[in-house]
């Protein structure tokens, strides 16, 4: 069971420039029915639909340092204020969407939102894995991302190998889902080409720009 997001063909969405350190959401989403019975994860994810797609931007900060070292799956992390100001109806779990660093190319991504039960984190995070091989780290640069759909709820795993297998499965599902026309068109959203996206946020300006978030459209 996949939850797909469609945009109303009878409405026109006017997109405004979103500055660094902000986010916007829309409510032009609905769930497309399937003939198969929905999974529990999919049903629990339906509550997230009204805030998707969800656009966010901020400086890449250092996370727990596990993505590359333990999992072989590097992640880019948003600052606390972006995490703390997520809409209430975007629950914890695994999402898919699009992301870019600075004014670079836009790539498919998966994002984990929550506490990562396997590691028993005490701090909520938004960890983004961009499905592309980068030659170097991008701490301090600007991460722009749009959450398009929901894959599953977060859960613990009996072993590190099981966790890695689940993440790789999430990545493969994201690749498939983002090929759908209603999802792939968001890759071209002018959110990713706005002038504010071309200027990385410096550490000195983080407190006044990247450390704030504005929901709305």
For the cut 50, the answer to whether the pLDDT of residue 169 exceeds it is: yes
- Give per-residue pLDDT as tens, 38-75: 344 444 455 556 789 999 999 999 866 665 556 788 99
CATH of the domain at 167: 2.40.30.30
- What pLDDT was estimated at residue 183? 97
Residue 211 lies in a domain: no
Q: Which residues are registered as beta bridge partners of 111?
A: 95, 128
Counting the structural domains of the chain, the total is: 1
Catalytic residue among 70, 127, 136, 161: 127
In a domain, 215, yes or no: no
List the alpha helices (DSSP H) in the chain: 40-45, 80-84, 160-177, 181-184
- Arithmetic mean of pLDDT over the chain: 74
- How far is 101 from 75, CA to CA, in rounded Å? 12
Residue 119 has which token pair? 């590691």
pLDDT band at 17 (very low <50, low <70, confident <90, very high): very low
pLDDT band at 180; cut points 50, 70, 90: very high
Q: Read off the tokens for 80.
A: 């606390």
193 domain-assigned: yes
Predicted TM-score (pTM) of this structure: 0.70
User: In this model, does residue 4 exceed pLDDT 90?
Assistant: no
Residue 51 lies in a domain: yes
- Residue 6 — pLDDT band, cuts 50, 70, 90? very low
Query: What residues have CB less than 8 Å from 131, skipping those under 6 apart?
Result: 107, 108, 109, 110, 171, 174, 175
Residue 67 included in any domain? yes
The reply to whether 217 falls in a domain is no
179 is catalytic: no
Q: What is the pLDDT, as a whole number, of residue 215? A: 31
Alpha carbon 33 to chain centroid, angstroms:
23
Beta strands per DSSP E along the chain: 5-6, 23-25, 30-31, 54-59, 76-77, 93-101, 107-114, 125-130, 142-152
64 in a domain, yes or no? yes
pLDDT of residue 50: 77
Q: Domain range spanning residue 35?
A: 5-205
In a domain, 72, yes or no: yes
**Containing H/E element for 11?**
none
């Amino acid at each position: 069971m996949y939850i797909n997001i469609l945009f109303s063909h009878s409405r026109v969405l006017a997109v405004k420039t979103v500055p660094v350190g902000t986010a916007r959401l829309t409510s032009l989403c609905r769930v497309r029915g399937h003939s198969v019975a929905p999974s529990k994860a999919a049903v629990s994810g339906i509550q997230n639909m009204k805030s998707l797609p969800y656009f966010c931007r901020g400086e890449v900060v250092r996370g727990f340092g596990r993505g590359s070292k333990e999992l072989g799956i590097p992640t880019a992390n948003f600052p606390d204020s972006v995490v703390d100001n997520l809409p209430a109806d975007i629950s914890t779990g695994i999402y898919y969407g699009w992301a870019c660093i600075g004014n670079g190319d836009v790539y498919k991504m998966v994002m984990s939102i929550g506490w990562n039960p396997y590691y028993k984190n005490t701090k909520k995070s938004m960890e983004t894995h961009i499905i592309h091989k980068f030659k170097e780290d991008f701490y301090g640069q600007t991460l722009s991302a749009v959450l398009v759909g929901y894959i599953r709820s977060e859960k613990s795993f009996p072993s590190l190998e099981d966790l890695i297998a689940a993440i790789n499965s999430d990545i493969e599902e994201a690749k498939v889902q983002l090929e759908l026309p209603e999802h792939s068109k968001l890759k071209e959203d002018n959110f990713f080409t706005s002038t504010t996206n071309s200027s990385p946020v410096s550490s000195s300006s983080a407190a006044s720009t990247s450390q704030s978030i504005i929901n709305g459209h």
